[in-house]
Copies of this chain bind each other. A is one copy, B any other.
Amino acid sequence: MTTDVFAVLADPHRRKVLELVAARERTAGELAAEFDVSRPAVSRHLRVLKEAGLVTCRQDAQRRIYRLDPGPLTEVTGWIERMSGYWAGRLSALEAHLDANPEAPR
């Protein structure tokens, strides 16, 4: 089971599914109609998204209605923020260095 959110987001079809369910919940059929690939393929993507916790699914008669759960996305934003944090720290170190060695003043 692929539980890595980054890997799940790597597929454009899955990202489009998320965009679609972000606005309003949709049935599997409605979602499948938006893609050029076969319905089983979409069904697999939905399973992957569900396993990753990015969508939830409730049943209404024969239909399965999918809804976005943006929770796991915090793993991504958190990682990027940490990166940017380190990056900012590195930059300020560079600035300190440039301040101490002003050979190319702005």
Which residues from chain A sit less than 8 Å from chain B, CB to CB? 4, 6-7, 9-10, 12, 15, 18-19, 22-24, 68, 70, 73, 76-77, 79-80, 82-84, 86-87, 89-90
Contact = CB atoms under 8 A, between A and B. Distances in A.
Given A73-B80, A76-B76, 17 more contacts: A4-B10, A6-B6, A6-B10, A9-B9, A9-B10, A10-B10, A15-B79, A18-B83, A19-B82, A19-B83, A22-B86, A22-B90, A23-B86, A23-B89, A70-B84, A70-B87, A73-B83
Number of copies: 2
Contacts of A7: 10
Contact of A6 (B9, B70, B79, B84): B9
A77 B79 contact: no
A80 B77 contact: yes
8 contacts: A6-B12, A9-B10, A19-B82, A22-B83, A22-B90, A73-B80, A73-B83, A76-B80
